[in-house]
Amino acid sequence: MTTQAKPEEVSAGSGGTPFLSVRDLSVRFSTEDGVVRAVDNLSFDVAPGSTLGIVGESGSGKSVTNLAVLGLHNPDRTEITGSIKLDGQELVGASNRELEKLRGRKMSMIFQDPLTALSPFHTIGRQIGETYRKHTGASKKEARDRAIEMLTRVGIPQPTSRVDDYPHQFSGGMRQRAMIAMSLVCDPKLVIADEPTTALDVTVQAQILDLLKDLQQEMGTAIILITHDLGVVARTAQDIMVMYAGRAVERGTVREVLKAPQHPYTWGLLSSMPSLTGDVNVPLKPVRGTPPSLINLPSGCPFHPRCDFREEVIGGGCTSERPPLSPATGHAAACHLKQVQRQDIFIDQIKPRLG
């Protein structure tokens, strides 16, 4: 086994040809302190109409990956290698003009905080309609009608009058609905939702997630849902990818990963999550330590300084060798522990704590 993982083949989850296919994606930023390896050798697929949840701590490369898919990184400071294929079209190295045509039409993004992500200077209707006009060449009137139609679809009351409101006149939940309306206005086949519910309170959060799900079923959109909330993934996604330090450390269907997680980091994430049915006297266990610096990654497995199970690895290797994500398809984890060991540790030590 080599220290560099080989290109990994990833299952498309729900089967069929993937709509988005990412292979060996690396994103590096040059900064004054050195090169930040924000995403390293990442591969994943998203099938049409399915939802992939990407989970990880802040700085694990979730957002960077998706901004790379949209081509929104500053090319002067970013080095992107690997391949990103959207519906067969290569996006890495594509010209700005080509990307402009795809953004908002074939792929679009829902941002975390709709207050700052919507322009305070333009009406909601204009911001939605503008995308539509850009990609379809519609007239102002048609764009406005389309904006009203979209606002109706995302459940904004009195859309014909609210279309002329500014974002600050909307409530937080309505703003996020407007944001969703904006990203779906051209019926994109891929929507990247970057923590779409983090800025919202819990009841609104549930409404927004249901809305996304409904719209997905209606329009057959593939969704990448970036979140650090495993609960959100559990109720919306079919597949999960757990990211750590710019790499995928575990991947599988929601059922596989949440019911039988294999990577110590995933165990840590699950243990740190409160359970409604769990014993109140069992303290939550956070993942100890802090995320590593992406400029100076720990040698071998980047998770080893925070891992509680290093000693159990037969023959060591945690500090010297980077474990590949294996097996190549299906439920996979990047860990030196043997498959049997992982199962035993999870059942004996982790599961009882999850309640």
Partner 1 sequence: MLRFLVRRTLGALVILLIVSMITYALFFAIPADPARLYCGKTCTPENLALIRHDMGFDHAWPVQYWNWLSTIFTGGTFNNVHCAAPCFGYSFAKQELVGGILLNRFPTTLSLTIGSAVIFLIVGIGTGMLAAHKQGKATDKIASSVSLLASSMQIYVAGPLALWALCYSTDLLDLPTYVPFTDNPIGWAGGLLVPWIVLSLIWTANYTRMTRSSMVEQLSEDYVRTARAKGMSGTSVFMRYAWRGAMGTIVTVFGIDLGVLLGGAIITETTFSLQGLGELAIHSFRDSDLSLLVGITVVAATLIVFFNIIVDAAYALIDPRIRLA
User: For residue 284, what are its two tokens?
Assistant: 């939550």
312 neighbors 337 (Cβ within 8 angstroms) = yes
| DSSP secondary structure, 77-141, as one string | TEEEEEEEEETTEE-TT--HHHHHHHBTTTEEEE-S-HHHHS-TTS-HHHHHHHHHHHHH---HH
111 is an interface residue for partner 1 by CB under 8 A: yes
Stretch of 100-108, 198-206, 259-267, 341-349 contacting partner 1, by CB under 8 A: 100-108
Q: Which of 101, 213, 351, 353 binds partner 1 (CB under 8 A)?
A: 101
Q: Which of 21, 51, 131, 262 binds partner 1 (CB under 8 A)?
A: 131
Least gap, CB of 108 to partner 1 (angstroms): 6
Residue 150: its H or E element: helix 140-153
What contacts 299, CB < 8 A, 6 or more positions away?
A: 319, 320
Stretch of 7-15, 83-91, 96-104, 340-348 contacting partner 1, by CB under 8 A: 96-104
Q: Which of 24, 57, 87, 113 binds partner 1 (CB under 8 A)?
A: 113
Q: Which of 2, 96, 161, 203 binds partner 1 (CB under 8 A)?
A: 96
Stretch of 38-46, 68-76, 148-156, 274-282 contacting partner 1, by CB under 8 A: 68-76
How far is CA 290 from each of CA 57, 269, 301, rounded to the nearest angstrom? 10, 13, 15
**Which positions from 161 through 220 interact with partner 1, judged by CB under 8 A?**
166, 168, 182-183
72 is an interface residue for partner 1 by CB under 8 A: yes
Tell me the sheet residues that pair with 37. Answer: 28
104 is an interface residue for partner 1 by CB under 8 A: yes
Q: Which of 100, 142, 149, 229 binds partner 1 (CB under 8 A)?
A: 100
Query: Residue 96 or 203: which CB sits closer to partner 1?
Result: 96
d(CA 320, CA 15): 36
